[in-house]
Amino acid sequence: MKAEILLLPFVLGSALASEEAWVHKRAVSYVTMVSTTNIPLADYLAAASAVPAAPAAPVANKAVELPGASTSAGTTSSSSVGSRLVGWLDSFFGLGGTSNTPTTTSAAPVAPAAPVSAPSPSEVATPVVSAGLAAGPVSSDDSQYTYSGPVPTETVNWWDNLFADESGTASANAAPTGGLSINIGYSASIVASGIIPSVSIATSTGSVPSGGSSSPGDYGEYNGIVEYATKAKGVTYSPYIKSGSCKSAQQVANDFEKLAPFSLIRLYSTDCSCVENTLAAISSSQKLFLGIYNIDSNTITSGLQTIKSAVEASSRGWSAVDTISIGNEQVNDGKATVQDIQTALNTARSWLKSNAPQYSGSVVTVDTLVAVKNNPGLCDLSDYLAVNCHPYWDGSVQPSNAGPWLQNQISGLQAVCGNSKEVFITETGWPNKGSNFGSCVPSVANEEAAFKSISGVTTNYLAFTTYNDPWKPAGQYGVESNWGIFGESPE
């Protein structure tokens, strides 16, 4: 089990003095030891000191009280509280020593059999160093402030029991689903002093993608991609296992646990009972962007009938459907003309009006942004402009500039189609494997950089795509199957 760290903003009453910064580092290091997760302390401290936050309200669960920390006037001494806090945490873990030189030891912390009282000032006058934790003023090298060794289950359980609320259950800062929750709080006087962070730790259970970490919610090298891609409004999803066969309803449900951050899920077709299965898997706050891939009349009408049957058998009905798309990149691929697309959309709208009058969502066709710009007759056919736009295929875009590039492309489309209709990006991303296209290089790092850039500019898009799709032909540049934000599918 691996913990997800939720660090609430540091409460800073004044600029960080060197000892206060060290206390922050040391306190967070102990949280790191409990969770076995390394924290980028330098970045976090820099952000915390740059933007002071308002004093936090006292936490609801049991507080970590440091006896004698407050002065007679009811205020708190930063130096005294800082030293005593670190010493208290040292005692918690049974650590000791007086060296000011970082050690290379990575021994697991040992929890005491019972809570210990805060040590006296004389016991913590000399900062201690154990298990690779360095004492002293802030330095530019923060590797010494992290702990990556194993943590015994009993240590986690001990902390869980210590900081449970009065009923012995997990705190209010619990993880979204399952697992244990630990909240480390401080008395109001200590928090108000401006030097003590409020920290929460949560662990949750869930499915684990194959080929990655064995820890729930940890996607290995794809963690950064997930962090930025999940800022998007939605994501595209295909209901196939690696071989191309259909996923079961349970497998789809497992996938949708990962897709909880997204409010819109795009499907491309109606096969594999995917409409039925995704309707059963989505949350009450999510909607579907349904698709019919081909545009011949029989495919459209049979696809719409499948959608109607699944939707009307579901608990939410048509309210769960945001958009129905007819065709994907048909003009771009040379499979259809603008007139063909107009005919297909007319067929779909007519069928829906006669057979599903309750549907009040949008009807669109999806094509590439370039195809719509080059075929302006497409501008007026859809209820809004639904376009796929990938910076990689430009051939000259740096992933770190993917966001501004995408915005420029949208502006260019509006210059052709006008501003009367919303432009919605129905696919964008970056491949994580394959060959270079011009100066665009497929890699996991570049996929992360691209989503970071895009999400820094807009969140009104669909991330492409949930998993790598080995069932797809790799294509000329070997990238067609390698756009997954979560890496490989578990199945």
pLDDT of residue 117: 41
Residues 6+ apart with CB under 8 A from 141: none
Share of the chain above pLDDT 70, in %: 56
pLDDT digits (tens, 9 = 90+) for 122-138: 333 333 333 333 333 33
Mean pLDDT of 280-296: 98
Q: Which residues pair with 367 in a beta bridge?
A: 387
User: Which alpha helices (DSSP H) does 182-267 contain, by range?
Assistant: 188-192, 223-229, 249-258
For 341, the token pair is 């697309």
Cis peptide before 465 (omega within 30 of 0): yes
Q: Which position has the token pair 């790598």? A: 468
For the question of residue 427 being annotated catalytic, the response is yes
pLDDT digits (tens, 9 = 90+) for 107-164: 333 333 444 343 333 333 333 333 333 333 333 333 333 333 444 444 444 444 444 4
For 156, the token pair is 């986690």
pLDDT digits (tens, 9 = 90+) for 1-37: 333 333 333 333 333 344 444 444 445 554 544 443 3
Determine which helix (DSSP H) or strand (DSSP E) holds 264, and give its type and residue range. strand 264-266
CA pseudo-torsion sign 213, 218, 223, 226: positive
List, by residue range, all CATH 3.20.20.80 domains of the chain.
Answer: 220-463
pLDDT of residue 486: 97
Give dist(CA 277, CA 149) in Å, integer. Answer: 41
pTM (whole model) above 0.85: no
pLDDT digits (tens, 9 = 90+) for 450-479: 999 999 999 999 999 999 999 999 999 999
> Quick check: 27 and 199 in contact, CB under 8 A?
yes
Q: Tell me which fold the domain 220-463 belongs to.
A: TIM Barrel (3.20.20)
CA pseudo-torsion sign 183, 187, 190, 193: positive
> Quick check: 170 and 164 in contact, CB under 8 A?
yes
3-state secondary structure of 4: strand
pLDDT of residue 3: 35
3 state SS for 312-332: HHCCCHHHHEEEEEEEECCCC
pLDDT digits (tens, 9 = 90+) for 198-257: 333 333 333 322 323 333 478 999 999 999 999 999 999 999 999 999 999 999 999 999
Mean pLDDT of 266-285: 98
pLDDT of residue 218: 86
Give dist(CA 129, CA 151) in Å, integer. Answer: 18
pLDDT digits (tens, 9 = 90+) for 353-380: 999 999 999 999 999 999 999 999 999 9
Task: Point out the catalytic residue in the list 19, 276, 329, 427.
Answer: 427
Cβ count within 10 A of residue 384: 14
pLDDT digits (tens, 9 = 90+) for 390-410: 999 999 999 999 999 999 999
pLDDT of residue 85: 52
Q: Which position has the token pair 């449900």? A: 253
